Amino acid sequence: MTDRTVFYQTLAGIPQGYYTSYGRLADLCGVHVRQVQAWLRTLPRDTELPWFRIINSQRKITEHPGAPRQYQRLAEEGLIPDDRGRFPLDRYWPTSAPAGQNIKETQVRS
């Protein structure tokens, strides 16, 4: 399975009402965070993948042209930032995988 396929599958697996960070997604996919950012930038505009569920490590939305749409999509799922712009920690995904564990390593061990 290619790194990009792992990325698509992991991104698709983020449940509605949850979010993750660029870095956590990179860890899960076994790639560098810049690779995740590049793949997100190249998603088609009409993608059904939940790109909007990826936020920065401060639990905030990084400013970019699609940020207003990202806020809207997250709000539609019940994710509302606090007065400092941070999203609730209890909605961070995944809740059980240890930091540093990645999907590719898990598949090799299985």
DSSP type of residue 35:
H
Q: Is 96 helix (H, G, I), strand (E, B) or coil?
A: coil
Q: Is the pLDDT of residue 104 over 50?
A: yes
Evaluate whether 13 touches 50 at the Cβ level (below 8 Å): no
Q: What are the tens digits of pLDDT across the range 5-44?
A: 999 999 999 999 999 999 999 999 999 999 999 999 999 9
| Number of residues written out for the chain | 110
Instruction: Read off the amino acid at residue 78.
Output: G
Instruction: Read off the amino acid at residue 97.
Output: A
Map out the domains of the chain as residue ranges: 3-109
User: What is 3-109's CATH number?
Assistant: 1.10.10.10
Q: What are the tens digits of pLDDT across the range 81-102?
A: 999 999 999 999 998 655 555 5
